[in-house]
Amino acid sequence: MKAIFLTAAMALTAASSLAQAEDRITVSVDATAPGAKIDRRIFGQFAEHLGSGIYEGIWVGKDSAIPNTRGIRNDVVAALKAIKVPVVRWPGGCFADEYHWRRGIGPERKPSMNANWGGVIEPNTFGTDEFFDFASQVGAEAYVSVNVGSAPVSEAAEWLEYMTASTGDAIGAERAKNGHTDPYKVAFVGLGNESWDCGGGMTPDFYVSQMKMHARFDRNYNPAQPMQRVAVGPNGGDTAYTEAVMKAYQGRSWAWGIEGLSLHAYTTGGGFPISQKATGFGEKEYSVILKDTLGMENLIATHSAIMDKYDPEKKVSLVVDEWGAWYAPTPGTDPGFLMQQNTQRDAVLAALNINIFARHADRVRMANIAQMINVLQAMILTDKEKMLLTPTYHVFEMYVPFQDATFIPVKLDAGVYSYGDISLPRVDAIAAKGTDGKLYVSLTNVDPNKPVEIDTAFLGVKVKSVTGETLSAPKMDSANTFDAPNIVAPKAATVRLKDGKAVVQLAPASVTVLAITL
């Protein structure tokens, strides 16, 4: 009997140490092998004239009771400054290929139809000058997408002239008359948007011929700001545009060039028409969405390999200028406005994507989440004078130290999180050396049920101290609402140093960032 008892006790001990082993993962950070710079622009944003993304989200007008600076709401600007938004892509999206910039300048604005998004009247009150005012209030670079699909090349060329020429130029003088004497700084110009679809349904070859003209004639006249041209690239995994544009780039003449190739890839968990709900989902949908989002790795690898073939020196950036979760619209809202709630699942999704971009920092030098305010996977939701920060916002906030940091490789045995026939890496991690000299480690626990203990070991550096911030939530579909805006908010992580390792427990479905002083 005694012998049996002992055997049972031994079995129990073995089982509990197995459980402990499973619930404990070691992450090794190798500071002796730094990689590429993580361009701060991978934390870029996209703001389209769509739903209440611009009107109400940014623009309330000078006479509004909502506190504003020249019509631009102060609360939103302050929130965006806090996450150091590096770049904003505007005015679309599908909207860009039907945008006629002259309707949006000067004292008399000419309304138009927003045919893509709800068929509403676009007042053109927020135009070029308001956009640059907004970008400058936020401290972000401007990424302007020009109309390739429904306007002659001269329209885009003259828009660039309006934005960047000196006042000796007649169109530059018009800008001065509208209140801005100095040329604007256009850091990026997008040569169309989704030209394979809403941008005009162009074959790759047809697009390449249009792109070459725009790459030649959409000139930047402001010597104070170099401008990069971003060509339309692939739709998800379709490689036809990647091949055609990069082949043309390889054979380019002195007269034109591009510096970026765009990739659009949304997480839908089943394609279009959209079926997944933003809230009120279960673990099945949680795992379907995260599996789908992890496909970003394969997409980037696929398109990067083609780019490497034509551009082995990696001069052209892969610009993921539309990414994020796209769910069924919030019930009761106009389906054309693409408004959706944002949950803890989206925080995990955001971290996983940013980690993928960071791991491809040598090629992915900009990404713009869709979209900044009130549309799709937004940072911010507004309702008249109220504003809330989403779980996705908080991830961008926690990742600020990764902006322009140097990528540091990590190794880990990630473990497995399974639901039904879906199996995903249980933990994801990246590390970087910040511009402030500290090491930063981001740790994501994908498992929505189980916590996991992480030991972070460091190679090649001596750790003095460690602090951390963590974003977790009561449920995987917890969201912030106007009545309860702080359900999901970062808090200090309980992290300790043990034998030179940082030890921290990650809550289920959570994102944690450690700051290590050396």
* Active site residues per annotation: 194, 322
Residue spans of beta strands (DSSP E) within 3-99: 24-30, 44-46, 68-69, 72-73, 87-90
Nearer to ligand AHR, 48 or 285 (CB): 48
| Structure tokens belonging to residue 119 | 């068929």
**Three-point CA angle 141, 146, 149, nearest 5°:** 155
Q: Which candidate, 84, 85, 57, places its Cα nearest to that of 71?
A: 57
Q: By CB under 6 A, which span of 80-88, 91-99, 282-290, 300-308 interacts with ligand AHR?
A: 91-99
C-beta closer to ligand AHR: residue 370 or 513: 370
Q: Report whether the peptide linkage leading into residue 273 is cis, meaning its omega lies within 30 degrees of zero.
A: yes
| Count of alpha carbons within 13 angstroms of residue 515, beta-carbon side | 16
DSSP letter, residue 472: -
Query: Is 260 exposed, middle or buried, given 0-12, 13-18 or 19+ CB atoms closer than 10 A?
Result: buried
Q: Which stretch binds ligand AHR (CB under 6 A): 86-94, 123-131, 244-252, 284-292?
A: 86-94
Query: Total residues contacting ligand AHR (rule CB under 6 A)?
Result: 10
Choose, by CB under 6 A, the member of 161, 259, 311, 322 that binds ligand AHR: 322
Q: Is 379 helix (H, G, I), strand (E, B) or coil?
A: coil
Which range in 92-100, 118-126, 308-316, 353-361 contacts ligand AHR by CB under 6 A? 92-100
When the beta carbons of 263 and 405 are compared against ligand AHR, the nearer one is: 263
Residue 98 within binding range of ligand AHR, rule CB under 6 A = no
- Residue whose C-alpha is closest to residue 237's, from 291, 288, 289, 300: 300
According to CB under 6 A, which one of 44, 71, 86, 93 is a site residue for ligand AHR? Answer: 93
Question: For strand 386-389 and strand 380-383, is the pairing parallel, antiparallel, or unpaired?
Answer: antiparallel
Does residue number 193 form part of the binding site for ligand AHR (CB under 6 A)? Answer: yes
In the window 29-48, what residues touch ligand AHR (CB under 6 A)?
A: 48
Binding mask 228-267 for ligand AHR (x = CB under 6 A): ----------------------------------------
No. of helices (H) and no. of strands (E), the chain: 10, 27
- Binding track over 150-189 against ligand AHR, x by CB under 6 A: ----------------------------------------
Give the span between the Cα atoms of 196 and 391, in whole angstroms.
33
What is the Cα 70 distance to its own chain's centre?
27
Question: Would you count residue 321 as binding ligand AHR (CB under 6 A)?
Answer: no
Q: Rounded to the nearest 5 degrees, what angle is found at the Cα of 11, between the Cα atoms of 5 and 16?
A: 125
Element (H, E) at 517: strand 510-517
> Rounded to whole angstroms, how far apart are CA atoms 389 and 313?
40
- Name the closest residue to ligand AHR (Cβ): 93
CB of 328 to ligand AHR, least distance (A): 14
Least spacing, CB of residue 96 vs ligand AHR, in Å: 8
CB 276 to ligand AHR: min, Å: 16
* Shortest Å, Cβ 384 to ligand AHR: 24
Residues 429, 410: contact at Cβ < 8 Å? yes
How far apart are alpha carbons 139 and 378 in whole angstroms?
19
Cα separation, 297 vs 147, in Å, equals 30
**Which residue, 47 or 307, has its beta carbon nearer to ligand AHR?**
47
CB closer to ligand AHR out of 380 and 488: 380
Q: Is 444 in the site for ligand AHR (CB under 6 A)?
A: no
Residue ranges in 344-383 that form contacts with ligand AHR under rule CB under 6 A: 370-371, 376
> Among the candidate windows 11-19, 90-98, 382-390, 444-452, which touches ligand AHR by CB under 6 A?
90-98
By the rule CB under 6 A, 194 interacts with ligand AHR: yes
By CB under 6 A, name the one of 44, 92, 127, 434 that touches ligand AHR.
92
Q: 364: closest CA among 300, 458, 431?
A: 300
List residues binding ligand AHR (CB under 6 A). 48, 92-94, 193-194, 322, 370-371, 376
